[in-house]
Amino acid sequence: MTHAAHSHDLQRCRELVAQLNDYLDGELPADLCAELEHHLADCPDCQVVLDTLGQTVRILHHLDEAPPPALPADLEARLLARLRAG
């Protein structure tokens, strides 16, 4: 799928991509937010990029909630031996 499917100026989309992160983190100034939201309402591709970028960030935030793999046994044994040696 290509971005050219829409009538938007690709350069404009690229400029706005640079602001998506600040927008997601709530750090984009209000006037730029309004401008971005105006563009998003009319550009499905940029809307998808924003949504999926937000999902990417949420996946990263939850990455360490699942239990990590157990420590390899030899590595654990070396660590315990090191700690017991003082």
Partner 1 sequence: MPGPTIDLSIYADEAALLAALRRHDPDACTCLVKRFAPLVYARALRLTGDPDEAESVLQSTFIKVCDALPGFDGASSLGTWIYRIATNEGLMVLRRRKPQIALDDVADNLHPEEVPHQFQAWSHDPQRLALDGELRAQIERAIAALPEQLRVVVLLRDVEGLSTEETAAQLGISPGAVKVRLHRARLRLREALADYLAARSEEHA
What is the contact surface with partner 1 in residues (CB under 8 A)? 1, 3, 14-15, 17-18, 20-22, 27, 44-45, 48-49, 51-53, 55-71, 73-80, 82-84
Q: Is the Cβ–Cβ distance between 53 and 24 less than 8 Å?
A: yes
Q: N- to C-terminal Cα distance for the chain? A: 60
Q: Which is nearer to partner 1, 20 or 33 (CB)?
A: 20
Tokens found for residue 66: 């699942």
Give min distance, CB of 31 to partner 1, in A: 18
Give min distance, CB of 26 to partner 1, in A: 12
Query: Phi and psi for 67 in degrees, rounded to 5?
Result: -60, 135
Give min distance, CB of 8 to partner 1, in A: 12
**Integer Cα distance of 40 and 63 in angstroms:** 29
